[in-house]
Amino acid sequence: MFGLLKKAAAAKGRVGVAFGLNQVAVAIVRREAGGAAVLERCETVPVERGTPTTGIAPLLQRLDLPRLPASTVLRPEDYQLALVEAPDVPPAELRAAMRWRLRDAIDFRVEDAVIDVIDVPNQGRGSQGRMLYAVAARRSAVERHAAQLSGVAAFDVVDVPELCLRNLAALVPTADRGVALLHLGEMAATVVLVRGRTFYFARQMDLQATLRYDLNADQPVEGRVDPTGVVLELQRSLDYYERHFDQPPITRIAIAPAGPRAVMLAEDLQRETGLEVEALDLNKVLVCAQPVDPATQAACLLAVGAALREEHRSL
């Protein structure tokens, strides 16, 4: 997304870094000669909440990261995503023109935003003009991420979660026929629709009204997602994909991160929809130097998605 270096990287791999409230997740992916992705490292480092930027940069330096291109991921509160009609201007003027389109579409001053776009395939017959996803990131957030990674020599990209999820969805064996990846957060979820490595659509859904609780569980109570609302949002997304992009139906859904909640929801969704639904286990879709347990997968998922980035330029 927001490219900070213009020179293309020749390295066969990438470092991904994602910041949580009290930890930093780091993933390192290397590319083999045939292009296969190998997850070389996947770990979290605890950080005291409220640690200033000046404390993060030295911490990352101590991790002894390889000299590979590095990406970081914006947090949801750092940016907004909007599907808008592309202005009829030359490519060099696109971002400036998009800034005017976003004035009434975001909840902070567009003058304080860094703008980039995500290209999507042309829509089908009878649709409106060419559409793009516009990303408006808070300039202060982009600058904060850049400062936090100032000690990482090859840091070059500030990414957004939707494209990190696209990279993960592309790992699904049948992704070339289309796949919906549902990323579960604590109170919200994101669904992205992908065919091959092509990003088509993203939708946010609120999970707060769909959480159920297993009072008989031996472990601490964890919200179980009621499939009813999720099925409705998924169906709206899949219908939009088929209708607007003239694509055959998507019949496979992957849920991430892997773990008990994803497995339970996969069973519920498969029963409700009749589609193929499974939890996305990184151990099954990536070559992992060491097995990655569910807790680490949950903490590092977006860092892994960032490390899977193959583009070496801003879109």
Q: Which residues, 6+ apart, have CB-to-CB distance to 299 below 8 Å? A: 20, 23, 25, 44
Average pLDDT, the chain: 87
Instruction: Give residue-wise pLDDT tens across range 94-117.
Output: 888 888 888 888 888 989 999 998
pLDDT over 50 at 218, yes or no: no
Instruction: Give residue-wise pLDDT tens across range 219-245.
Output: 433 567 888 889 999 999 999 999 989
Strand-by-strand arrangement of the 198-206 sheet = 198-206, 188-195, 179-184, 252-256, 276-279
- Pick among 3.30.420.380, 3.40.190.170, 3.40.50.1820, 3.40.109.10: CATH of 76-140: 3.30.420.380
- Domain(s) of CATH 3.30.420.40: residues in the chain: 172-279
Report the residue count for the chain.
315
- Domain(s) of CATH 3.30.420.380: residues in the chain: 76-140
* Cα separation, 18 vs 305, whole angstroms: 10
Which amino acid would we find at residue 246? D
Contact predicate 143/171, CB 8 Å: no
Q: So what's the pLDDT on residue 223?
A: 63
| Class of domain 172-279 (CATH, top level) | alpha beta
Q: So what's the pLDDT on residue 222?
A: 56
Instruction: Give residue-wise pLDDT tens across range 49-67.
Output: 878 877 888 888 888 899 8
Q: So what's the pLDDT on residue 219?
A: 45
Contact predicate 311/113, CB 8 Å: no
* Cα separation, 87 vs 9, whole angstroms: 31
- Taking the CA of residue 17 as centre, how many other CA atoms within 13 Å lie in the half-sphere pointing to its CB? 30
* Cα separation, 24 vs 22, whole angstroms: 7
Contact predicate 210/226, CB 8 Å: yes
pTM summary value: 0.89
Q: Which helix (H) or strand (E) holds 230?
A: helix 227-245
Q: So what's the pLDDT on residue 105?
A: 84
Instruction: Give residue-wise pLDDT tens across range 173-211.
Output: 999 999 999 999 888 899 999 999 999 999 999 886 555
Q: So what's the pLDDT on residue 7?
A: 47
Distances (CA, A) of 241 to 185, 192, 195, 228, 275: 23, 11, 11, 20, 16
259's torsion region: left (phi>0), alpha (psi -120 to 50) or beta? left
Residue listed under structure tokens 């909007």? 82
Q: So what's the pLDDT on residue 32?
A: 84
